[in-house]
Structure 1
Amino acid sequence: MSGFDIESSTARMAAGEAPWSSIGNPVITRSVLRDFLSNPGATAGLMTLGIIVLLALLAPWLAPGDPQSIVGPERLWPGTNPDFLLGTDSLGRSVWAGLVHGARISLLVGITATFLGLVFGGLVGAVAGYCGGWIDDLIVRFIEIFQTIPSFVLLVVLVAFATPTIGTVIAGIALVSWAMIARLTRAEFRSIREKDFVMAARASGISAPRIILQEILPNALPSLIVVSSIMVASAILMESALSFMGLSDPNTVTWGSMIGASREVIRSHWYLTLMPGGCIVLTVLALNLIGDGLNDALNPRIRRKIRSRKGVE
């Protein structure tokens, strides 16, 4: 172990803190994973999301062909035809094909938009939180400009003036989501940069990029991991709303577009909106349960409370 590692570890112990190790130790440790999997809600959410992801990955084999193709009579109820177990929509398209292919689009948009928002927002927030001073003030004002405009209103304006493609939707959602990540990252960096182990790293002559990547970022990751699951759920809801309004890619089938196409027959053929709507609810609920489980597992205070409660029981 280097002199810096010893000095840094000593400073951490003296401060009575147990931050994530700077090098070599992952954020998701065995104890964290064990606590996460012991949470019934988190386990249920993980299993539900796993099934949805599996269906999305296997969509080309589970429902081969174009999901927008007319394959049968219009508005077949579920169970009335063995070839279309979940029925057909108002145009004679397979509801099953729309659901599994729509899952691919929803997950693609949610994960990609969240990743882009995390990268850009995390970078902006890290610079603001670590540098401080006038740089911090300038970046905060820039963030506030985005946060003064309602996210969905801004998203609708951005997508409406652009070509309606999945790429446009992803870019738009990322653009309206990064500010929240930047604010969270800034707060985490401002708090962690004053810790004793970071001060010891500065005193040892460690460069700012190394301090950020090896000391501060690993300790900020738990909060970012938790919020990312919520962001994926939010992105899926935004994409579904855009598709429902007809502002998404017209050449792709999404859960939102399935609901939008069936709104005129919602009274007589309610199953056409119930099934894609149920998929949205299940996916968002699963992601929120996973987010709650990650928060409980990654937050040291909550972990101590849960373990002490189990010890009493």
Structure 2
Amino acid sequence: MSGFDIESSTERMAAGEAPWSNIGNPVIARSVLRDFLSNPGATAGLMTLSIIMLLALLAPWLAPGDPQSIVGPERLWPGVNPDFLLGTDSLGRSVWAGLVHGARVSLLVGISATILGLVFGGLIGAIAGYCGGWIDDLIVRFIEIFQTIPSFVLLVVLVAFATPTIGTVIVGIALVSWAMIARLTRAEFRSIREKDFVMAARASGISAPRIILQEILPNALPSLIVVSSIMVASAILMESALSFMGLSDPNTVTWGSMIGASREVIRSHWYLTLMPGGCIVLTVLALNLIGDGLNDALNPRIMRKVRSRKGVE
């Protein structure tokens, strides 16, 4: 077994070890962290995302007050007025305030929608993958119904018929994203449930919930962790698109709403769309780089190839 593989809790209990002990193993954790940080792209993505998250957390102090408030002349170019280093928009609102407060909303929506999607999709996929039979067939048909409809079209319909709030957007994005998680979880559970240690757990009389949580889920976590970073990026893009179309909370400033409010002056005052658009690109790119780095670090086959190449060199 590779040093990166998570052992069965049944095997650990047979050896007199406590369940889940291998998950928090400092040696394995350090190995994964070392492999992750040795990836230049992953390190760059982590640093970029850390800066964006820090700005979002410090937004109330970096730009106090309501970011929707009119605080100066309209359409000031960046650097013209020292009080507004990044300029003002078409209504005289601070672009800097919009960017840092918009980061809070984008990250909140992305992370919250991903957590909801993981919980619901993971639960559905785990049941389908573990139980199999007619339960699996029924759940797969249910998943396919959601996947036959384009995700963003379904999201627009859901949000359009509900009250336009950040909470509605989060729930809507989770509802159109859970199917992907469910299919991935189902595939992982179907593969792992036939392993010898799972069969041994069943034979020893361990309950199904305990087998799912202690035997199968730890081995499926690497794939779910990797896809989570991609889901956060996708949720941020969806929220930005909704805000651009005016379907998000009108009382909350977001990067998408900043682009939408400035689209009529994109030729004469292009910076008003460039800066929030650049923030979206940087955030999504950082999350994708982190996802690639996690995939490499958590995949023992990839890391063995990388190490063998380094050894040859």
TM-score tier after normalising by the smaller chain length: over 0.9
Cα deviation for residue 311 of structure 1 reads 1.2
Structure 2 counterpart SS, 1:27: helix
Contact 1:20 1:219 survives alignment (8 Å) = no
Specify whether residues 35 and 16 from structure 1 end up closer, same or farther in structure 2 by C-alpha distance, changes over 3 A only: farther
Cα deviation for residue 119 of structure 1 reads 0.2
**For the aligned residues, what is the CA RMSD?**
4.1
Specify whether residues 15 and 286 from structure 1 end up closer, same or farther in structure 2 by C-alpha distance, changes over 3 A only: farther
The CA deviation string for residues 97-145 of structure 1, in whole angstroms up to 9 with x for no partner, is: 0000000000000000000000000000000000000000000000000
Contact 2:109 2:239 survives alignment (8 Å) = yes
Once the two structures are superposed, the pairs formed by residues 80-229 of structure 1 within 5 Å of their partners are 80-229=80-229
The CA deviation string for residues 221-243 of structure 1, in whole angstroms up to 9 with x for no partner, is: 00000000000000000000000
The CA deviation string for residues 161-206 of structure 1, in whole angstroms up to 9 with x for no partner, is: 1110000000000000000000000000000000111111111111
Specify whether residues 3 and 168 from structure 1 end up closer, same or farther in structure 2 by C-alpha distance, changes over 3 A only: closer
Contact 2:46 2:290 survives alignment (8 Å) = yes
Contact 1:89 1:262 survives alignment (8 Å) = yes
Structure 2: state its 5+ residue gaps. Answer: none
Distance in 2, Cα, partners of 1:307 & 1:3: 14
Cα deviation for residue 3 of structure 1 reads 22
Cα deviation for residue 14 of structure 1 reads 14
Cα deviation for residue 5 of structure 1 reads 16
Distance in 2, Cα, partners of 1:33 & 1:3: 13
Distance in 1, Cα, partners of 2:210 & 2:96: 50
Distance in 1, Cα, partners of 2:241 & 2:45: 23
Q: What percentage of aligned pairs have identical amino acids?
A: 96
- Which range is displaced more, 302-311 or 260-269? 302-311
Cα deviation for residue 251 of structure 1 reads 0.1
The CA deviation string for residues 248-286 of structure 1, in whole angstroms up to 9 with x for no partner, is: 000000000000000000000000000000000000000
Structure 1: state its 5+ residue gaps. Answer: none
Specify whether residues 280 and 296 from structure 1 end up closer, same or farther in structure 2 by C-alpha distance, changes over 3 A only: same
Specify whether residues 239 and 275 from structure 1 end up closer, same or farther in structure 2 by C-alpha distance, changes over 3 A only: same
Structure 1 counterpart SS, 2:249: coil
Specify whether residues 128 and 9 from structure 1 end up closer, same or farther in structure 2 by C-alpha distance, changes over 3 A only: closer
Specify whether residues 139 and 20 from structure 1 end up closer, same or farther in structure 2 by C-alpha distance, changes over 3 A only: same
Cα deviation for residue 29 of structure 1 reads 1.6
Cα deviation for residue 76 of structure 1 reads 0.2
Cα deviation for residue 158 of structure 1 reads 0.4
- Which range is displaced more, 17-26 or 207-216? 17-26
Cα deviation for residue 42 of structure 1 reads 0.3
Distance in 2, Cα, partners of 1:3 & 1:27: 9
Contact 1:8 1:200 survives alignment (8 Å) = no
TM-score (ref. length: structure 2): 0.93
Contact 1:11 1:196 survives alignment (8 Å) = no
Structure 1 counterpart SS, 2:126: helix
Cα deviation for residue 309 of structure 1 reads 1.1
Specify whether residues 193 and 21 from structure 1 end up closer, same or farther in structure 2 by C-alpha distance, changes over 3 A only: farther
Contact 1:46 1:286 survives alignment (8 Å) = yes
Contact 2:76 2:87 survives alignment (8 Å) = yes
Structure 2 counterpart SS, 1:4: coil
Distance in 1, Cα, partners of 2:122 & 2:291: 18
Q: Could you tell me which residue of structure 2 aligns to residue 242 of structure 1?
A: 242
Distance in 2, Cα, partners of 1:209 & 1:144: 26
TM-score (ref. length: structure 1): 0.93
Contact 1:12 1:197 survives alignment (8 Å) = no
Structure 1 counterpart SS, 2:65: coil
Contact 2:185 2:224 survives alignment (8 Å) = yes
Contact 1:4 1:204 survives alignment (8 Å) = no
Contact 2:118 2:181 survives alignment (8 Å) = yes
The CA deviation string for residues 20-67 of structure 1, in whole angstroms up to 9 with x for no partner, is: 976754897211111001100000000000000000000000000000
Structure 2 counterpart SS, 1:286: helix
Specify whether residues 86 and 28 from structure 1 end up closer, same or farther in structure 2 by C-alpha distance, changes over 3 A only: farther
Specify whether residues 162 and 197 from structure 1 end up closer, same or farther in structure 2 by C-alpha distance, changes over 3 A only: same
